[in-house]
Amino acid sequence: MLRSFRGSILFALVAFALAGWYGWSQSHSLAGLGEALWIVLVLSVLEVSLSFDNAVVNATVLKDMDPLWQRRFLTWGMVIAVWGMYVLFPLVIVAVAAGIGPLKAIHLSLDDPARYQAIVSSAHGSIAGFGGAFLGMVGLKFFFDEEKDVHWVRLVERFLSSASTVPAAEIAVVLLALWGVEAELPSPEDHTFLVAGLLGIVTFIAIDGLGTVMKKREDRLRHAGALVNAGLGGFLYLNVLDASFSFDAVIGAFALSNNMIVIALGLSIGAMFVRSMTLLLVQKGTLAAYRYLEHGAFWAILALAVIMLLSVRMEIPETVTGLIGAVLIGFSLLWSVRHNRREAALVAGGAE
């Protein structure tokens, strides 16, 4: 197991060294150095604890991908997660919201971190609309599946599976959720939220459609005897999914620090360990061994989607978000263990 986390541990050591150097260079004191290291540590632990459901969901998608695209996600996907979500994403928000150029946004993040935080936080409605809609589509797509024959929360999951015979049922559910939240928002926040939510749905449909097209192309080539190695659709889907999980972490990180560099270092360490957990789940075949673990992860996705949509009207602590996901996955793991014991007892009884 330690071998799976070797790269993450090395990355963490480098990140802590950079954080210590940055804290010292800014304050020229041990107190400043210690504060930077402490915030980076807390952010990294927070990201790992809140993102276990992310690792499980990533593993469910990653296990069906070509090994080459698995490696690309774990390498290039890491670059996209770190630089895209933790550095570029907040800068783009500030640049657009404040009507300034990217270089000025960088200077603002370093010279006036309080204003930088305020601008990023002001875009929470758009972020919540897009992320909530996208994650809602991801979760409902899993349960609205007519061919799904394994059910954890049986009464609910069987109903959703049978309801999948209605075309685009999951889109209707997400649209109704967006409309319900939007109706409670003042103008012009309601329009911004709704447009962001619609873009979240369109993004899911586009990426899901691309994955379907690529899969059909693979099947045709495989039937023709050609060597196929395509996984672009899954790669894009996984990165957008990964980004959606990171929205709340980026916003929540400002509760601990306004400094862009400290936030990026702390969350990057956490993201690296989440990827190591993802790889471990794939390599060990954990999802196949525990029957309901995947279900727990997708229930956690739906819970996060609901929380993101409701967060535009009420304050929901990060700890609550993380605990709900952890509890759902924990229960699904317990149910899986119980199922495995029952199966083993039946096999043992039959052998006698």
Closest CA to 267 of 256, 278, 277: 256
| Domain count along the chain | 1
Condensed to tens digits (0 to 9), the pLDDT of residues 17-41 reads 998 898 888 788 888 888 888 888 8
Which pLDDT band holds residue 228 (cuts at 50, 70, 90)?
very low
Rounded to the nearest integer, the mean pLDDT of the chain is 78
pLDDT at 178: 92
Domain of residue 34 covers 2-311+320-351
d(CA 192, CA 2): 46
The tokens of 340 are what? Answer: 């495995």
The pLDDT tens digits for 97-140 are 667 777 888 888 777 777 877 877 777 788 888 888 888 888 88
Q: What is the spatial distance between Cα 266 and Cα 44, in angstroms, rounded to a whole number?
A: 5
Residue range 195-224, pLDDT digits in tens: 989 988 998 888 777 767 766 666 665 565
* Local confidence band at 244 (pLDDT 50, 70, 90 cut-offs): low
% residues pLDDT > 70 (the chain): 82
Give the pLDDT score at 227.
43
- CB 173 within 8 Å of CB 140: yes
Residue 303 scores a pLDDT above 70: yes
- pLDDT tens-digit map of 156-165: 888 888 888 8
Can you give the pTM of this predicted structure?
Answer: 0.73
**Above 90 in pLDDT, residue 175?**
yes
Residue 14 has pLDDT above 80, yes or no: yes
The Cα 228–Cα 221 span in angstroms is 7
For residue 203, give the nearest of 174, 177, 166, 179 by alpha carbon.
174
pLDDT higher than threshold 80 for residue 331? yes
Label residue 158 exposed, middle or buried (CB < 10 Å: 0-12, 13-18, 19+). Answer: middle
Q: Which helix or strand (DSSP H or E) is residue 108 part of? A: helix 102-111
The CA distances from residue 143 to 149, 156, 240, 324, in Å, are 10, 9, 20, 19
User: Mean pLDDT over residues 232-245, rounded?
Assistant: 70
What's CA 13's distance to the chain center, in Å? Answer: 24
Alpha-carbon gap, residue 25 to 347, rounded angstroms:
65
Which value, in Å, is the radius of gyration of the alpha carbons in the chain? 22
> Residue 176: which pLDDT band, with cuts at 50, 70 and 90?
very high
The region of weakest confidence among 59-63, 253-257, 300-304 is 253-257
Residue 167, SS3 per DSSP: coil
